């Protein structure tokens, strides 16, 4: 089953197969058998930061900025996790699939045995809207409306992220040169909320279950 949840301008796809995806290509891992698809290094754009600040969680963003594993760019924060580079080099995996096989050796820093250690509102939007290709195939034509919503939200986030970025550039402000001032600007910058679709839950049959 696939459910769409939207709260505080933040979307979430909830999938009944999450955590039970044994055999799915994206869940394949050479470092932890229970990792699932948590191989992405969370990247917080200006709009992700905006959404989190709007929740009153500036403390979360400030804490991220102090972590040793967080790369602070002018216009985003990237939380870097674990990568078994030695294991990857020894594996000699062939690139016979259409994505980078390094993901088999990567682990998100927010991963824990029973799922993500942070609530969905504190995750960057790609994490909340990710669906593996197997689930998409199981959804068949029913995935169409979910796909449109995902695409529209990504477009919304990208557009206003660029708007805020150019405003900051004009003011010669960024996260590296004036972190607190930039957070304050983002907090007070007016961005219209996204208007979500009303998507009904989607039931599908897992042939492998």
Report whether 45 contacts 161 (CB < 8 A): yes
- Return the minimum-mean-pLDDT range out of 43-57, 58-72, 83-97, 160-174: 83-97
Q: How many CA atoms lie within 13 A of 141 on its CB side?
A: 0
Percent of the chain with pLDDT over 90: 64
| pLDDT tens digits for range 121-133 | 999 999 999 988 8
Q: Does residue 206 carry a pLDDT above 50? A: yes
Instruction: Look at residue 209 in the predicted model and tell me its pLDDT.
Output: 44
Q: Does residue 207 carry a pLDDT above 60? A: no
Full-model pTM: 0.90
The CA distance from 184 to 58, in Å, is: 10
Residue 19 lies inside a defined structural domain of this protein: yes
- H/E element holding 11? strand 10-15
Residue 84 lies inside a defined structural domain of this protein: yes
Residue 118 lies inside a defined structural domain of this protein: yes
Residue 206 lies inside a defined structural domain of this protein: no
| pLDDT tens digits for range 10-27 | 999 988 877 666 667 777
Residue 157 lies inside a defined structural domain of this protein: yes
What mean pLDDT is reported for the chain? Answer: 90
Report whether 153 contacts 194 (CB < 8 A): yes
The CA distance from 111 to 103, in Å, is: 14
* Bridge partner list, 34: none
Q: What is the DSSP letter of 202?
A: B
**By three-state DSSP, how is residue 72 classified?**
strand
The CA distance from 23 to 1, in Å, is: 18
CA distances for 18 relative to 106, 131, 152, angstroms? 18, 9, 23
Q: Does residue 44 carry a pLDDT above 60? A: yes
Residue 205 lies inside a defined structural domain of this protein: no
Looking at the 3D structure of the chain, how many domains does it have? 1
Residue 201 lies inside a defined structural domain of this protein: no
The CA distance from 162 to 47, in Å, is: 9
Domain hosting residue 96, numbered range: 2-188
Q: Please compute Rg for the chain using Cα positions.
A: 18
Residue 197 lies inside a defined structural domain of this protein: no
Q: How many CA atoms lie within 13 A of 95 on its CB side?
A: 5
**By three-state DSSP, how is residue 19 classified?**
coil
Helix crossing, 46-54 with 144-171: angle to 10°? 100
């Amino acid at each position: 089953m696939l459910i769409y949840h939207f709260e505080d301008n933040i979307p979430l796809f909830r999938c009944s197969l999450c955590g039970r995806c044994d055999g799915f290509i994206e869940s394949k891992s050479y470092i932890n058998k229970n990792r699932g698809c948590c191989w992405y290094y969370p990247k917080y754009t200006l709009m992700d930061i905006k959404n989190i600040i709007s929740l009153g969680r500036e403390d979360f963003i400030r804490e991220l900025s102090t972590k040793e594993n967080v790369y602070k760019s002018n216009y985003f924060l990237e939380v870097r996790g674990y990568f078994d580079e030695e294991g990857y080099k020894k594996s000699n995996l062939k690139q016979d699939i259409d994505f980078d096989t390094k993901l088999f050796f990567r682990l998100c820093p927010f991963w824990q045995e029973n799922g993500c250690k942070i609530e969905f509102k504190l995750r960057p939007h790609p994490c909340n809207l990710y669906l593996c290709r197997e689930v998409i195939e199981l959804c068949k034509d029913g995935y169409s409306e979910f796909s449109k919503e995902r695409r529209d939200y990504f477009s919304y986030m990208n557009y206003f992220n660029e708007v805020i970025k150019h405003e900051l550039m004009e003011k010669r402000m960024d996260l590296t040169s004036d972190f607190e001032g930039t957070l304050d600007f983002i907090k007070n910058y007016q961005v219209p909320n996204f208007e979500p679709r009303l998507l009904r839950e989607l039931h599908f049959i897992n042939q492998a279950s």
